[in-house]
Structure 1
Amino acid sequence: MSVLARAVREVEAALRSGRVTPATRTRFQAVALLLREERARVRADGAGSDAHRAEQLKRLDGVATILAKTAVRDAGLMALLAEDAVVADEARSLKREMQRTAGIEPAADERPPEQPPPAATEHRVVPRSVVSRQLANPFLAPDASAARPSAPRPTRLATWELIGPLLSSFERAGSGASTCMPLPDPTSRYAPPGMELMPHQARLVAAAAAGHRTFLLADEPGLGKTAQALLAAEAANAYPLLVVVPNVVKTNWAREAEMWAPHRTATVIHGDGDSIDGFADIIVVNYEVLDRHVGWLGDIGLRGMVVDEAHFIKNKTSQRSRHVLSLSERVRSFTARPLLMALTGTPLINDIEDFRAIWQFLGWIDEKKPRAELMNALDETGLTPADPGFYATARQSVVDLGIVRRRKVDVAADIPARRIADLPVELDGPVGRSIRAAERELARRMVARYEQALASRASGSTADGIDHDLVRQVVRWEQKDAAEAKAGDNVFTMMRRIGRAKAGLAADYAAQLARSAGKVVFFAKHIDVMDAAEEMFAQQGIRFSSIRGDQTSAVRQRNIDAFVNDAGVAVAVCSLTAAGVGINLQVASDLVLAELSWTAAEQTQAIDRSHRIGQSQPVTAWRIIAAQTIDARIAELIDSKAGLAAQALDGSDEEVGSSADVQHEALVALLTEALSAPTDHVEG
């Protein structure tokens, strides 16, 4: 207890003194792990009396309460308390050190982080709905509907080491070498009614329809890789389809599946998967929880698998890579010609050695040599690595297996010059629950005010039993109280809390963009959101420039110049209000809007920092939106006020409505929805 209490006090002191450092996060997570383990041990201990056990639990609860109150001050710490939070190796090591300090020998089955734990100790689950699916298909048979790939023919290349030369062939390629397999004419046959594919998207779908089954889809961000993958699965009838993604885009994949495959059921795995639909056609899981589900996923007869941000598996010794590769092996053993797609925007000429794991996932190579299809293609060239022409022809043989890469500038005619792409994210864990609870409390407070005013008012415009004139009056009172800071949680404080909760997810996505597409502009409204983003970039080794309102003009210009002129500075972290006007950042064509503007004009001004004279590529603004919160409602209102059709900017700076209008309409919708809901729902 003394070791735990001392560690919690150190975390508290660090928070009071300023920013939360990586060391502070490590200590916080180690304490949280120890608390959970000690609580479980005390509960299971049958040696002591009930009174002694209750006293121990009470003391542990006291420390846990202090820890939780400390975490509330920082969204990053709250995220570490989530059920599926990744436990850092440093935190495990510190936990063992703290146990020894307390005189407790760490459990014998705890291995050092560099040694993977034995499979028997992994936390594996089988959701109840999956058990139902398995019972409904007890004799699931392998798919023999198509011929399996032929075995490699006896070849003169059998004694050659080929993986190294194949990788080297990409590094040796000149600037004019092809990075895209031949694609057929586009087809829109598989697009759902009302949806239209861009020509470059339709060509990949046509390739899947023609029978191609493995793709390394490396289009630049913003070119619609998600839609291409979903419709390729439709063309190949590759269901059940597993989609493995980073946590930040998990919700967006589910939304895209509803749009592009509306007649297919999609389910998202959170945590242990208690809420999933075991009979779904499309299963979306994030890398962080894949280890819990890899067992049953390998047993349900997958006929397709998509790995998004596939460079996440480049380290073949990591747990996530091992699970992805084992699943792809299971898919190939069950289905004769499964659809396997690796999605990444990372250019193929960078760290080509990292693509060894991706090629293995796709079934092009194994641990030591090319598999049958690639080996036969290499044999047909008639060349060996000793021949001068081998590298160019070998490279083309790999490209023809399914590498598809298009740049924005290559398909500029297909896409708008500038557009907004919404990326919904789920705020899981304690932070998300507290925000949704605050939103319910705000609705309850307005409902009580409405009912109190209604009791003394006898007239008004009513529909469905709701006095809509009174609703707007109550909202005006709420806005006035919020402006004067008389209320508790109000629309301003809630949006700020949502911004802090989104900060890590938004920064993580910006980091992915920076690695795959080049320079990125990151916009936020609040300083603490900028601080959290900058800390994450620093932890990931991404250099950034900070452009804020409290800087002198000289410092500000120096930071702008660093972003524009220094190739090593990948991200500009900008204040939405301070950097939204008057600066030129056209060196970047991707922006991340971590927090919503109150008006479309403010949003457009920020985007115009990159979309201006001198910009040679289409500009994409990635707007991070907290799903199932007032954040999503405000995004819809901003778009409707500005008339943004299909999320595509038309270039107009005309402002329709003010920030007060958006706030007013958001609160009107929130109150109206609460009044329309059943009483027990509103009170709950």
Structure 2
Amino acid sequence: MPTTAPARQRKKSSSARRDDEAPIIPILARKVREVEAKAQKNKLGPTNRIKFQVIAFLVREERARVKADEALGATPRAELLKRLDGVATILAKTAARDTSLIQLLEVDQATSPVARRMRRDWLLDAGVELAPEELVIDDAKPAVAEPIVPAVAAERAVRPPQVDARIESNPFLAPDPTRCVPVAHPRRRLDSWELMGPLYKAFAQGAGGGAATMPLPEVPEFDRLSPRGLEIMRHQSRFIEAVRDGHRRFLLADEPGLGKTAQSVLAASVADAYPLLVVVPNVVKMNWAREVERWTPQRRASVIMGDGKDVDAFADVFIVNYEILDRHLGWLAEVGLRGMVVDEAHFIKNLSSQRSQNVLALAQRVRETTPNGDPLLLALTGTPLINDVEDFDAIWRFLGWADGTKPGPELMERLDATGYTPADKAFYPAARQSVIDMGIVRRRKKDVARDLPDKLIADMPVQLDDEFGRSIAQAERELAKRLVTRYRRIIEARGDRGLGAHEIDEDIVHLVASGELEESRAVGAEGDNVFSMVRRIGQGKAQLAADYAAQLQRSVGKVVFFAKHIDVMDQAERQFREAGITAVSIRGEQSAAARQKAIDAFNEDPHVGIAVCSLTAAGVGVNLQEASNVVLAELSWTAAEQTQAIDRVHRIGQDEPVTAWRIIAAQTIDQRIADLIDRKEGLAARALDGDQTTDEEIESVQLGALKSLLRDALGG
């Protein structure tokens, strides 16, 4: 849509009056300093990148004008060129700091509508007379259908076998050519204004104050959603009611531990947004599948792995991690998605990354192909802003609230209804609220503390599907085979004592598992036994656990990371350093003074984000209550040890509910150990309440895990 500058040209600024020979130079000098300051703070968002482009464009334009101006004397010309060189030098230094800016120095870079508007406004501020055609900026873009699969990913693209069958079975997936016809919108009062910068400024200044949460409906009298045995919490119910009322696009920015996954799963059910695509970090892929089954047991989820050969194309929910999304873009764009969830949505903040472009292209396709153009779109992140308020840009694009250069039609209508322009001080709180009302929901733990238990243990199942993970699975199969061989040898030696064909002799199960455990203790972590297997599982989980801890840290601040083995702690600390997160280490070999120094740094230094702790060395006598989130990268052998670790933060003085995130390797002995620890915790509570227990109930976790493995191998 064309935008025209106000008919009355703006009054010359004081800087322009002081420099009539080149009134644009003082403006360029001021603007380049603004960009330089942002670059020094690593806060160069989209608006400042465009500003960088326009400065470079105008420096070249002004240099050519000065050189061609025959009315200028040699001395004034040299002075003006020197000043332009000063601006260019700052541009070069800024580009050296952020090399992604170098490509923006090219001659044809400042040609977007927003860049041309910025150039026009600066020249008008300088009092430059512009031709009529330069006053009108045309935003219209040619309607070119771009392929959903980028060229760089075309060779890697895959197509699961069942996809064509699903598409052919659905008569409602025929393309609708009317969806491609652009809708004409009436001219609005704010069409001639540059609005993205003021919108970011409204959030950067916290204009208007107050929590960034749209008005939500009250909790209904009856819970109409939860499956039997489950109950959603009050804050979750209010969000779901907003979906029931027809709202379809949200930035759900609740803090971790407040159940964003469950809210999203139930929102899809209420909106009937199936098929639903969920794009997630690899570490939470299995957890999403579990939550779909838990909260909507009538729906089928399919986790997309690698080449997708095992994908259930008739599933209701597809779950894919960012790293392999490019391989599946083609068929996902064809199956008629009616909803899309982007978990940890700050992962797409870098608009130049292929990951971000994949997500945004697919979201655009979902909006175009959903009936009425109103799919369920959810951006989930406890940390929508990492470096700068302009990190909102990619999320707003995903939700269709803006396109990076201007607000979308719905947001523009809300802004227009305020009656203000960016020249009015009242515009900023009104603009901030307009965006919030589009669908921002942000709750903190302390805001909804009455909904939460004071301590929650949340399991995060992960899939060890690399070569190392496959070797662990093979080792577990070999261990089970060895146990079965010993069991059957004893059965054969003893002779038949009336056991049925599928009966298991628990006495022999106990005998075989006890013998294996004694042998394992004798050799420790050497050889192929339960201890070495658990250590290898810890090594396999280390990267995923560290990734999750880093995500938590960016969302909620301080996090305590527990591991049993030194090599797991070492790997985690390396990853935190590479991620730019300052961590302290609390280990057994430290002196008392070194340990206390690390504890004090974690509790008192705001720049220290994570404490990496040994389960045995830091499990007792340590106060880390500055955090309310704990990551258990490896499981303990005892319930008491796990409890002691969590109680480093769950103690007197803690004013927030505590969440412990257990990273569990799915479909391995790790899951058995977690289940046994939970049973032991229940046992401890019963014992303290005076209940009697049997000898079987007080066996070690190692013995219980071996017995469980043997029973499963025997088919029991």
TM band (smaller chain): 0.7 to 0.9
- Partner residue of 2:518 out of 459, 480, 489: 480
Shift of 1:474: 0.8
Equivalent position of 1:178 in the other structure: 211
Shift of 1:175: 8.5
- Measure the CA separation in 2 of the matches of 1:651 and 1:589: 28
Shift of 1:190: 2.3
The change in CA–CA distance for 1:394 and 1:493 in structure 2 (over 3 A counts) is same
Correspondence 1:339-358 to 2 at 5 A: 339-346=376-383, 351-358=388-395
Deviations 1:282-336 (A, max 9, x none): 0000000000011111111111000000000000010010010001100110112
Equivalent position of 1:244 in the other structure: 279
- Measure the CA separation in 2 of the matches of 1:167 and 1:650: 55
Shift of 1:666: 1.2
Equivalent position of 2:312 in the other structure: 277
Shift of 1:261: 1.1
In the alignment, structure 1 residue 166 sits paired with structure 2 residue 238: no
Equivalent position of 2:436 in the other structure: 399
- Measure the CA separation in 2 of the matches of 1:449 and 1:265: 40
The change in CA–CA distance for 1:151 and 1:582 in structure 2 (over 3 A counts) is farther
In the alignment, structure 1 residue 628 sits paired with structure 2 residue 663: no
Deviations 1:202-232 (A, max 9, x none): 1100000100000000000000000000111
- Measure the CA separation in 2 of the matches of 1:590 and 1:242: 28
1:152/1:371 contact within 8 Å kept: no
Kindly provide the amino acid, as one letter, of the partner of residue 470 in structure 1. I
- Measure the CA separation in 1 of the matches of 2:461 and 2:688: 25
TM-score (norm 2): 0.74
Unaligned 5+ runs, structure 1 = 1-115, 678-684
The change in CA–CA distance for 1:540 and 1:444 in structure 2 (over 3 A counts) is same
In the alignment, structure 1 residue 201 sits paired with structure 2 residue 254: no
1:626/1:632 contact within 8 Å kept: yes
The change in CA–CA distance for 1:167 and 1:654 in structure 2 (over 3 A counts) is farther
2:211/2:442 contact within 8 Å kept: no
* Bigger radius of gyration: 2
Please, what is the CA RMSD of the aligned residues?
2.7
- Measure the CA separation in 2 of the matches of 1:217 and 1:621: 22
- Measure the CA separation in 1 of the matches of 2:548 and 2:308: 24
- Measure the CA separation in 2 of the matches of 1:232 and 1:473: 50
Equivalent position of 1:594 in the other structure: 633
- Measure the CA separation in 2 of the matches of 1:333 and 1:530: 47
- Measure the CA separation in 2 of the matches of 1:566 and 1:390: 38
- Measure the CA separation in 1 of the matches of 2:472 and 2:687: 35
1:461/1:469 contact within 8 Å kept: no
Q: Secondary structure at the match of 2:674?
A: helix
Shift of 1:461: 9.0
2:208/2:430 contact within 8 Å kept: no
The change in CA–CA distance for 1:198 and 1:615 in structure 2 (over 3 A counts) is same
- Measure the CA separation in 1 of the matches of 2:313 and 2:253: 31
- Measure the CA separation in 1 of the matches of 2:175 and 2:215: 31
Equivalent position of 2:623 in the other structure: 584
- Measure the CA separation in 2 of the matches of 1:281 and 1:151: 35
Identical positions, percent: 61
Unaligned 5+ runs, structure 2 = 1-148
Correspondence 1:9-88 to 2 at 5 A: none
In the alignment, structure 1 residue 191 sits paired with structure 2 residue 226: yes
- Measure the CA separation in 2 of the matches of 1:482 and 1:503: 23
Deviations 1:539-588 (A, max 9, x none): 11111000000001111111111111111110000000000000100000
Kindly provide the amino acid, as one letter, of the partner of residue 513 in structure 2. V
Correspondence 1:208-357 to 2 at 5 A: 208-335=243-370, 336-346=373-383, 351-357=388-394
Shift of 1:509: 0.1
Shift of 1:149: 12
Equivalent position of 1:360 in the other structure: 397
TM-score (norm 1): 0.78
The change in CA–CA distance for 1:120 and 1:570 in structure 2 (over 3 A counts) is closer
The change in CA–CA distance for 1:659 and 1:446 in structure 2 (over 3 A counts) is same
Shift of 1:501: 0.4
Which is worse superposed, 152-161 or 317-326? 152-161
- Measure the CA separation in 2 of the matches of 1:256 and 1:471: 34
Q: Secondary structure at the match of 1:456?
A: helix
Kindly provide the amino acid, as one letter, of the partner of residue 602 in structure 1. E
In the alignment, structure 1 residue 389 sits paired with structure 2 residue 426: yes
Which is worse superposed, 289-298 or 117-126? 117-126
The change in CA–CA distance for 1:482 and 1:565 in structure 2 (over 3 A counts) is same
- Partner residue of 2:162 out of 104, 114, 129: 129
Shift of 1:465: 3.0
Deviations 1:67-94 (A, max 9, x none): xxxxxxxxxxxxxxxxxxxxxxxxxxxx
Q: Secondary structure at the match of 1:406?
A: coil
Equivalent position of 1:638 in the other structure: 677
Equivalent position of 2:573 in the other structure: 534
1:150/1:373 contact within 8 Å kept: no
Shift of 1:126: 1.1
Kindly provide the amino acid, as one letter, of the partner of residue 227 in structure 2. P
Shift of 1:644: 8.6
Deviations 1:629-668 (A, max 9, x none): 00001101110121299xxx99989998999521111111
Kindly provide the amino acid, as one letter, of the partner of residue 516 in structure 2. E
1:427/1:502 contact within 8 Å kept: yes
Deviations 1:350-373 (A, max 9, x none): 621111000000000013111110
- Measure the CA separation in 2 of the matches of 1:393 and 1:258: 41
- Measure the CA separation in 2 of the matches of 1:518 and 1:659: 38
2:160/2:309 contact within 8 Å kept: yes
1:219/1:404 contact within 8 Å kept: yes
1:503/1:594 contact within 8 Å kept: yes
Deviations 1:132-181 (A, max 9, x none): 212323661469999x9986432110010111111110111169423100
The change in CA–CA distance for 1:122 and 1:316 in structure 2 (over 3 A counts) is farther
1:450/1:474 contact within 8 Å kept: yes
Q: Secondary structure at the match of 1:512?
A: helix
The change in CA–CA distance for 1:309 and 1:461 in structure 2 (over 3 A counts) is farther
The change in CA–CA distance for 1:431 and 1:385 in structure 2 (over 3 A counts) is same
Q: Secondary structure at the match of 2:660?
A: strand
Q: Secondary structure at the match of 2:608?
A: coil
Equivalent position of 1:17 in the other structure: none
The change in CA–CA distance for 1:454 and 1:334 in structure 2 (over 3 A counts) is same
Kindly provide the amino acid, as one letter, of the partner of residue 317 in structure 2. I
The change in CA–CA distance for 1:640 and 1:522 in structure 2 (over 3 A counts) is same
In the alignment, structure 1 residue 438 sits paired with structure 2 residue 471: no
Which is worse superposed, 488-497 or 117-126? 117-126
The change in CA–CA distance for 1:384 and 1:618 in structure 2 (over 3 A counts) is same
Q: Secondary structure at the match of 2:398?
A: helix
- Measure the CA separation in 2 of the matches of 1:408 and 1:350: 23
- Measure the CA separation in 2 of the matches of 1:143 and 1:532: 51
1:152/1:375 contact within 8 Å kept: no
- Measure the CA separation in 2 of the matches of 1:365 and 1:631: 45
